[in-house]
Amino acid sequence: KRGVLVKGSNYLEALNKVSIVVFDKTGTLTKGVFKVVDITVDFGFTKEQVLEYAAQAESYSNHPIAKSIQEAFGKTIDQSVLSGYEEISGHGIRVLIGGKRVLAGNSKLMDSEKVSYAACQSAGTKVYIAVDGRYAGCIVIADEVKDDSQNAIASLKKIGVEKTVMLTGDSKRVADQVAKELGIEEVYSELLPADKVSKVEELLHQKSEKEKLAFVGDGINDAPVLSRADIGIAMGALGSDAAIEAADIVLMDDDPLKISKAIKIA
C-alpha cells in the first residue's frame, strides 16, 4: 500500500536501528534531469544569440547536457548552416556556423583556444561560447532537486536518524550547494564509484555495533555500495536493474520521503 518493497523481515528489523543514512546525489535526491538555469552574456551579445549558437553547435550530440540546451532553445535547428563540425574530447565543440567560427565547451576549451573569458560563478555544468575568437557568454546547466528531498531529510532527523551523508561524483561546488539546500551535514564530492564503496566502509567502521547504516541509490554504479551497506535502499521507478537487484528495500516511486515512512513502520 505504501509502495515500499522489503525483501525480508530481517531488513525491516534492521530499519528500526538506522542511525546513518547515506545518499547518492544524482537521481536519488535530484531528478537526474538537466535544465538550463542561467545564461550570462558578454557585451555585444544577447542571451538569445548565445543560446542559438550553443544549440546549433550541440545539435549533433545526444548528451543530456546538449539535449537540455536544445530544449531550452526550443526551435528547429537548420543544420545546413553548419560546417567543419569537430568534437574535441573532454573539451567541447568547434564548428563553423554561417561562416563564423564558434566554440562551445568548458573552460579547458577556452584556455586551449586562447579565448579570454569571464569565469562563471553559478553552480552547475558550464558551457562557454566564443564566436570568431571572442567570448560571447556562458550557459549554466543544473540538475533539479526533487520536490520532496528537503522534507525527506528533515523527517529522517525528526525520527531520530543521527547523521545524513551525501556522496557524489559531481563537483565540490555543486555538491555543497545541494547539501546546504537540503540540510545534509556531511558531503563527499568528486568520487569515483569505487570511492563510494570505501567511504561507506569508513562510515561503517565509525559507528557502533548496534547502529545500522542505510545507503540510498539508483544507478548501476551504486550496486556495490548497496550490497555493502547494512541496508541498501534502491529507487525503483528510474533505478537500474542492477541497483534494484542488489538492494534490500526498493522504493517503488523514487520518493525519498518514503524512507522515513518505512522506518516508522519498522
Active-site residue, selected from the candidate residues 24, 143, 248, 255: 24
User: Is 24 among the catalytic positions?
Assistant: yes
Residue 98 bridge partners (DSSP)? none
Contacts of 246 (CB under 8 A, 6+ apart): 222, 223, 224, 226, 227, 232, 234
The x, y and z cell numbers of residue 20, run together, are 546513518
The x, y and z cell numbers of residue 163, run together, are 547523521
C-alpha–C-alpha distance, residues 127 and 86, integer Å: 16
Contacts of 36 (CB under 8 A, 6+ apart): 51, 68, 69, 71, 72, 139, 140, 141
C-alpha–C-alpha distance, residues 221 and 224, integer Å: 7
How many other CB atoms are found less than 10 A from the CB of residue 145?
A: 16
Active site (catalytic) residues: 24
